[in-house]
Amino acid sequence: MRHDHLISAAQLSRSDIETVLDRAGEVANDLGASRDSHPGLVLGLCFFEPSTRTKMSFDAAAKRLGGSTIDMGSVESSSVTKGESLADTVRVIEGYADAIVLRHPSEGAAKLASEFVHVPVINAGDGAGQHPSQTLLDLYTIREEHGLDDLTVGIMGDLKYGRTVHSLASALANFEVRQHFISPESLRLPRSVRFDLHEAGAQVREHTDLEPVLSELDVLYVTRIQRERFPDETEYRAVAGEYQIDAETLAAGPDDLTVMHPLPRVDEIAPDVDETDHASYFQQAHNGVPVRMALLEMLLENHG
Ligand code: CP
C-alpha cells in the first residue's frame, strides 16, 4: 500500500485491501502481546463529532503499537469555539503528532486537512461522505466469515447519509461481490455513489424490501438511520423505525447469514438477534483494533 493519507475507500485497490487485512490477521493472532513496533508514536485524535468505537479503537491501536495518543477533546472544550479554522487546527496538531485521525461533520474535511499537513491524515468520518478505516474492519470481518469473492451482500437502511455504506460499497467493487441495496426511496444511495459503482463495474441492485432478496444473502449489513444528518426532523420521522430486523426476520434467511452493523444501533436490530449465530457486529467492532494497528503501521512506514 503506497498512500500518505487514507481519505476515501476509492483509494484502495484490491491489493491494498488484502495487504492491510493480511497484516491485521497477523496482529490479531498475537493481540495479547505488546507489538511495540512504534515506540514513541504520538497519534492525534481530532473528533469534531461524537465517537466511541473509532476513537477508542485508534487509541487502543496506537497504545498497542507502543505509542500514545493526544486528544483534541470535545469541540466545546477546544479553541474551535473561538473560531479557529480546521486548516489552522490541523497545522498546529501536526507539530504535536506523527499522524492525525480526523472526524468532522463536513464532507471533504479530511481531504482538506490532508492538504495542509505533512503527517498522515486518516479520515474517521467526514459528514455523509466516507469512513474508510471502518470499511477495512468491515472487510476483515466479512473475509473471516465468508471470504471476499463470490459473495452476495445486502446493505440496508440509510444509504443516503450512511458514510460507512459509501465506503464499503466502493471497496466491495474490487471483489466478485453482488451488492443489494435495500432502503426507502428517500434514502437511496446518492447518485454520485451509484455512478462510481457503475463505472467500477460493480454488480448492483436496489430494493425497497428485504424479504425478496434475504434468501440470497451471505451478509446483511444493517445501518442506523442517521438522524443527525436530516435537514428536517419530519423527514426523519417519516422513515424512522422502518427496516428493523429481529430473530424471526432472519429465520427466513440462510442459516449461515452474517449480520453486521457499524454500530451504534438504535432499533434496527432487535436484541434477540444478539443471541443468534448471525450476530457479528460486536466482533466486527472488536476487529477495529487489529485492523487499525495494521493500517497505522503501514501508513507510518509509507511516511518514513
Ligand atoms: N462505527 C463507528 O464509526 O462508530 P463510532 O461513531 O462510535 O466511532
Q: What is the pLDDT of residues 93-149, one digit of tens each?
A: 999 999 999 999 999 999 999 999 999 999 999 999 999 999 999 999 999 999 999
Query: For the whole model, what pTM was predicted?
Result: 0.96
Of 23, 38, 53, 64, which is the active-site residue? 53
pLDDT at residue number 291: 98
Residue 293 has pLDDT above 90, yes or no: yes
pLDDT at residue number 54: 98
Q: What is the mean pLDDT of residues 251-273?
A: 97
Indicate if ligand 1 lies below 6 Å from the C-beta of 258: no
54 is catalytic: yes
Helix (H, G, I), strand (E, B) or coil at 243: coil
Band (pLDDT 50/70/90 cuts) for residue 47 is: very high
Query: Average pLDDT of the chain?
Result: 96
pLDDT at residue number 2: 67
**Residue 99, C-alpha cell as written in the block:** 499522524
Band (pLDDT 50/70/90 cuts) for residue 303 is: confident
**Per-residue b or e along 189-206, where b marks 16 or more CB atoms closer than 10 Å to that residue's CB:** bbeebbebbeeeebebee
End-to-end CA separation in angstroms for the chain: 13
Q: What is the mean pLDDT of residues 186-210?
A: 97
Q: What is the pLDDT of residues 10-37, one digit of tens each?
A: 999 999 999 999 999 999 998 877 678 8
Q: What share of the chain is helix, strand, coil (3-state, %, to 5)?
A: 45, 15, 40
Q: What is the pLDDT of residues 217-247, one digit of tens each?
A: 999 999 999 888 998 898 888 888 889 999 9
Largest CA distance in the chain: 55
Indicate if ligand 1 lies below 6 Å from the C-beta of 263: yes
Dihedral sign for Cα atoms in the order 264, 266, 270, 275: positive
Mutation probe of ligand 1 site: the residue of 48, 49, 51, 137 with most atoms within 8 A of C-beta: 51
pLDDT at residue number 3: 79
Q: What is the CB neighbour count within 10 angstroms for residue 215?
A: 11
pLDDT at residue number 222: 98
Whole-number Å distance, alpha carbon 238 to ligand 1 midpoint, is 24
Residue 188 has pLDDT above 90, yes or no: yes
249 is catalytic: no
118 is catalytic: no
